[in-house]
Amino acid sequence: MAELPGEPLHILLVEDNEAHAELIIRSMHDLQVAGRIHHVLDGEQALDYVFGRGAYADSTQYPRPDLILLDLRLPRIDGLEVLETIKTTPGLLRIPIVILTSSDAENDIARSYDFHANSYVVKPLEFKKFTRLMKDLGCYWLEWNTMPEPE
């Protein structure tokens, strides 16, 4: 993947399953994604990160994400609530959010789009398919997609 112009790209990964998170992070590094992946384990940490609260108050260490990969089934605060909160907050609503979850339930898909998710992706169970998904996802969101300037 080509290096992106400008500032490094920052991805916020919200994933409570450590094995899934490690696979996602490794896949993104293998794709030579510019920037950093910031990993948090629950919905409360995700909101603290995007709002710059508590442990995430230092914006040089924890910059505004350019893309959020969000699981739905999270401890403390559910992924749908995280999605709704971000997408209804001026200054944050333009951050693309990709739901990356194991749920293929129609209700979860519909509610995610009702709350303005930019994409909904079901994690495949097979390693090779998961790796291919991460490559395709990385190419689309990080190389081919054009995003507006932050608000």
Residues whose CB falls within 8 Å of the CB of residue 46, separated by 6 or more in sequence, listed in order:
12, 14, 40, 68, 70, 74, 77, 82
Instruction: Give the closest residue to 71 by CA, choosing from 121, 6, 134.
Output: 121
CATH tag for 15-143 (out of 3.40.50.2300, 3.40.50.450, 3.40.50.300, 3.20.20.210) = 3.40.50.2300
User: What is the pLDDT, as a whole number, of residue 30?
Assistant: 74
User: What is the pLDDT, as a whole number, of residue 114?
Assistant: 97
Residues whose CB falls within 8 Å of the CB of residue 131, separated by 6 or more in sequence, listed in order:
23, 27
What token pair was written down for 26? 């490794």
Query: What residues does each domain of the chain span?
Result: 15-143
What token pair was written down for 28? 């993104």
Going residue by residue through the chain, which has 151 residues, state the pLDDT in tens, using 9 for 90 and above: 334 445 567 899 999 999 889 988 887 777 665 568 999 999 999 999 999 999 999 999 999 998 999 999 999 999 999 999 999 999 999 999 999 999 999 999 999 999 999 999 998 888 888 888 888 887 777 777 777 777 7
User: What is the pLDDT, as a whole number, of residue 125?
Assistant: 84
Residues whose CB falls within 8 Å of the CB of residue 18, separated by 6 or more in sequence, listed in order:
none
Residue 85 has, within 13 A of its CA and on its CB side, a CA count of: 15
Instruction: Give the closest residue to 16 by CA, choosing from 92, 98, 72, 82.
Output: 72
pTM summary value? 0.89
Instruction: Give the closest residue to 67 by CA, choosing from 20, 9, 136.
Output: 9
User: What is the pLDDT, as a whole number, of residue 106?
Assistant: 97
Element (H, E) at 11: strand 10-14
